[in-house]
Chains A and B, each alone.
Chain A
Amino acid sequence: MLNIENISKTFNPGTVNEKQALKGLSLNVEKGDFISIIGANGAGKSTLFNAIAGTFLTDEGRILLDGEDITLTPEHIRAKTIGRLFQDPLKGTAPDMSIEENLSLAAGSGGWLSRISKREKAMLRERVALLNMGLEDRMDSPVGLLSGGQRQALTLMMATINPPKLLLLDEHTAALDPETSAKVMELTEKTARENHLTCLVITHNMHAALTQGNRTLMMDDGNIILDIKGDERNGMTVDDLLLMFRTKSGHVLDNDRMLLTDDAN
């Protein structure tokens, strides 16, 4: 459903800071895929997400979503069909506005001059209650007063309140404590399953990259160097993955954080 054809992106071309962040990358994503993406710092994982979400336009190549060419579509239009969560829980919500107001903006029902209706209030409250965080009694509190985990759970709800075709998760649990992180991840998988969402997840947890979802991609130097799925993936261990990376890329994986957490949960 997502077809990326040969996209490239160079930042600061023609200067000393020139950086070729994506180098002719191609990827086909099937409907319902839950893909984990791993790679060292600077491999281009977030740049790939920015290209898909439309934060910048790619220099070359095409991006098709459900057969529709979105290569030149502006970010806010793509946002209708592509949901996105960042590592920083502060990015997805407006801190001075209430839970209800944030959710209502994301839900986007009604005309521009309509106010939040009683029915919508009840609906949003019901949805928030599903989070099991007690937030349904704080619908009028500003989001800035919530904890990081609560804000991230809320952002997840905002991104999926109108189920998107594609959900991009950029290490969205990395800034949370382990317990909250597990809870938000569980919530993510549940939401994805219930709404049959296609998900791309950037993670630094190599174990999780092999166990969660149905496909693992490894990125290095602006391209995808490993694409593992099916039987090959089922029997694979973290050590196999590291070895494959070394043979394929010709250098050792140099992400400390990734290596430190490779056996965690």
Chain B
Amino acid sequence: MIPLIQTALELGLISSLTVLALFLSYSMLNVCDLSTDGCFTLGACVGAVVAISGHPYLSIIAAMLAGVISGFVTAFLQTKMGVDSLLAGIIMNTALYSVNIGIMGGSSLLNMNKTETVFSKVQSVTDNFGEFEVNKLVIATAAVIAVAAFLYLFLKTRIGLAIRATGNNPEMVRSSSINPVMTTIVGLCVSNSFTALSGCLLAQSQKSVNIDIGSGMVTIALASLLIGQTFIRSRRMGLKIAGTILGAFIFRLVYTVALRFNMPAYMLKLVSSVIVIFAISGPYLKSKYPEFARRLEKRKC
């Protein structure tokens, strides 16, 4: 049971970085960033290539920078080029597929079995913790704490407030002499750097990267985000961020337990889609229920 929870914890922590990215873009900026899948893979590819070339620490920075660039292009398309926000994400996703294979030198799979990664770097230090391999947990936890703390502080700065206001009422932002184009670009750059970091860490923890590593990530992360929101409903920013991480962990835990009960692994994406549908449609259907009930009653008469 303990290895099971440990795996859930590791994967939950690593993917919670993507969930935090969506918390910023989807919950705060009110942009549904569909380039998440491609950006996740981009982070994984860039991280892997740099790590294979012998720079495990640099790989983290390189992956995040790649995420920033990807976020910038997505934001630029929707704010300056007149491309619809959803379409901009889909286009980026398609474009990134080619870019990612290009980064991996034309191959759709890279192996890092003998590569020095951030995880293997730390392993030598954490070896004395007995039978459990804790290096993944240590690094993933550190990354999540760093990103969560950054996000918490960032959202209280003036630019953070402006990003929240852009998602809330762009008209008010303009009349406060702030350019909503600028806030959207900054917001998506930051959120995509988290997504790329998430991809980079996942690739290095499983010692391989393939072109499909990020597929469905946006739905999985949205599911986690919405699960987290049902568990923690608070107005306090710190608790909202904590709830986001909790959601990612609960999602992974439920999934891991379901695997234990012989749910085939390929069901992951179906399950996460169903969760997202329920989380989004639930409140809508609930609000429609009285209307439905009245129609039903009339039919009975």
Q: Which of B130-188 contact A (CB under 8 A)?
A: 153, 156-159, 161-162, 164-165, 168-169, 171-180
B161 to chain A, nearest CB (A): 5
Contacts known (A75-B174, A76-B178); A91 close to B157, Cβ less than 8 A = no
Which one of A79, A111, A116 contacts B176 once the chains associate, using CB atoms below 8 Å?
A79
> Does B235 have its Cβ within 8 Å of any Cβ on chain A?
yes
How many chain A residues sit at the interface, stated as a range, is 20 to 34
**Do B168 and A94 touch across chains, with their CB atoms under 8 A apart?**
yes
Q: Chain A at the B interface: mostly helix, strand, loop or mixed? A: loop
Q: Min CB distance, A259 to chain B, in Å?
A: 31
Would you call A76 and B161 a contact (CB within 8 A)? no
Contact of A24 with B by CB under 8 A: no
Query: Closest CB of chain B to A87's CB: distance in Å?
Result: 13
Q: How far is the CB of B114 from chain A (nearest CB, A)?
A: 42
- Chain B interface, DSSP helix/strand/loop, else mixed: helix
Interface residues of B in 52-79 (CB under 8 A from A): none
Contact assessment for B159 and A113 in the assembled complex, using a CB-CB cutoff below 8 Å: yes
Contact between B165 and A110 (Cβ–Cβ < 8 Å)? no
B174 nearest CB across to chain A (Å): 5
Contact of A91 among B153, B159, B171 (CB under 8 A): B171
Give the number of residues in B that approach A within 8 Å (Cβ atoms). 22
Known interface pairs A115-B156, A142-B235; A92-B161 also in contact (CB < 8 Å) = no
Contact assessment for B174 and A79 in the assembled complex, using a CB-CB cutoff below 8 Å:
yes
Min CB distance, A241 to chain B, in Å? 32
Among B153, B165, B173, B180, find the residue whose CB has the most chain A CB atoms closer than 10 A.
B165
Complex Cα gap A94–B180 (Å) = 13
- Which of A40-48, A58-66, A100-108 makes up part of the contact surface? A100-108
CA distance A92 to B169 in the complex (A): 8
Query: What are some 12 contacts across the A-B interface (CB < 8 A)?
Result: A76-B173, A76-B178, A76-B179, A91-B169, A92-B175, A94-B173, A95-B169, A97-B168, A105-B158, A105-B162, A105-B178, A114-B157
A interface vs B, CB < 8 Å? Answer: 74-77, 79-80, 83-84, 90-97, 101-102, 104-106, 108, 110-116, 142, 158-159
Q: A77-B177, A92-B171 are in contact. List 10 more A-B contacts (CB 8 A).
A: A76-B173, A76-B177, A76-B179, A76-B180, A90-B169, A94-B168, A105-B178, A111-B158, A112-B159, A158-B175
